[in-house]
Structure 1
Amino acid sequence: MALIGYARVSTRDQNPEGQTDVLEAAGCEKIFVEHASGVLARRPALDQVLEYVRDGDTLVVTKLDRLGRSVRNLKQVAEELQQRGIGLRALSQGIDTTTPGGRLFFHMLAAIAEFEHDLIVERTHDGLAAARARGRKGGPKFKMTATKISQARAMYDSKEHTVQEIADTFGVSRPTIYRHLQAPSAGPAR
């Protein structure tokens, strides 16, 4: 029955010592350190720690967000640990899934976080629908107006400028210029 630590920092520039110090103070015998964004699907140190821990061990993190990419991912990791007889402890949140109260608290936090995420998605969809109803469309503004397109076409037709020079003049890419040169003279196109 060992305490095994897992620390993660998002970039190489960040220092994991704050996390490792806390994990050592909590009594972790071994600590795995990850230098990777939480959104990455593959995190080698997490894979190593999940392979290393055994039945009766407890995986210790400073905060839950160090462990999972999302609420769903965090729940999957916690369920896998529980099925294997491995506890999970998040020090700053006071969660310890080796106790019935800790398991309840973990699942309540996960459910609240999932509910909050669903509300954000719903509000975003409602906001986009309201904007569309008012005739607004999302996405970036066109860089090439009808006037700029005709100027670019004139520059190209004069054969005095390269496509790259035309693109640089208007602050767009070469493919954008080619797209507008191939399109009929009808105004901005994507």
Structure 2
Amino acid sequence: MRIGYARVSTQDQETHAQLDALRRAGIDVVHEEKRSGATMRRPIFENLLRNLRKGDTLVVYKLDRIARSLKHLLAVIELLHSRGCDFESLTEHIDTNSPAGRLMLQMLGAFAEFERELIRERTIVGIRAARDRGAQLGRPRKLTKPEEVEALRLWRTSRYNHTSIAKLYNVHRSTITRAIERLVQDEQPRLL
């Protein structure tokens, strides 16, 4: 039996393209998962692997849907082969039934891992350069600096708690908590 697996990294993404390709390839049973491939904990994928039977073929739209590193990819392929199962990738046209298919799989896995490492490295360099230029990274704060100072002043009167101040500014309680903690920390004398 040919069993499909479709995965996207976040809840906001959709598997439509993968599902369409798998169905065009004649795959009737497809398991979907919305979870980053960077994490080793993927319950649907783990369950799928446990339930594969001898003679089954795991089919994916693209190689990077099952693994984020060559080591992990090879471990999955080895597990499949130890159970008498095969692997097929529709995009890369890889079928592990032949020695040439297994070689191609390993080469593509190595290149995919190399590409991810290059992207990661460029991202780190870009973030560092942005910080050096003084760019403010991350989500903008909900409160302005004067609003944060006023929130701290209200909290210090002991007439307002974090929740009541949050209601005044129409923000979540944790926003007030972080602002107050940040300002109190800034007031602490710097130790050399």
Contact residue 22 and residue 62 of structure 1 kept, 8 A: no
- Write the letter of the residue equivalent to 2:24: V
Q: State the TM-score, normalizing by the size of structure 1.
A: 0.67
Post-superposition offset of 1:79: 2.7
Q: State the TM-score, normalizing by the size of structure 2.
A: 0.66
Residue-by-residue CA offset, 1:129-172 (whole Å, 9 max, x unaligned): 2233334453334434441133324555394x664343134343
SS in structure 2 at match of 1:36: strand
C-alpha change, 1:137 and 1:146, in structure 2 (3 Å) is closer
* Residue pairs, 1:40-119, within 5 angstroms: 41-44=41-44, 47-54=47-54, 57-65=55-63, 67-72=65-70, 73-119=72-118
Mapped to 2, the partners of 1:122 and 1:66 lie a distance apart of: 19
Unaligned residue ranges in structure 2 (runs of 5+)? 188-192
Residue of structure 2 equivalent to 1:132:
131
Residue of structure 1 equivalent to 2:167:
168
Mapped to 1, the partners of 2:35 and 2:185 lie a distance apart of: 47
SS in structure 2 at match of 1:114: helix
Residue-by-residue CA offset, 1:7-56 (whole Å, 9 max, x unaligned): 43657x867873563343xxx7xx543232243723346534544322xx
Across the aligned residues of Structure 1 and Structure 2, the Cα RMSD in angstroms comes to: 3.7
C-alpha change, 1:117 and 1:177, in structure 2 (3 Å) is same
Unaligned residue ranges in structure 1 (runs of 5+)? none
Contact residue 152 and residue 177 of structure 1 kept, 8 A: yes
Contact residue 33 and residue 45 of structure 2 kept, 8 A: no
Which piece of structure 1 moves more, 109-118 or 171-180? 171-180
SS in structure 1 at match of 2:34: coil
Mapped to 1, the partners of 2:67 and 2:119 lie a distance apart of: 17
- Write the letter of the residue equivalent to 1:61: V
Residue-by-residue CA offset, 1:56-115 (whole Å, 9 max, x unaligned): x25141413585152444332123223444321223432111112211221121111111
Contact residue 167 and residue 173 of structure 1 kept, 8 A: yes
Post-superposition offset of 1:180: 4.4
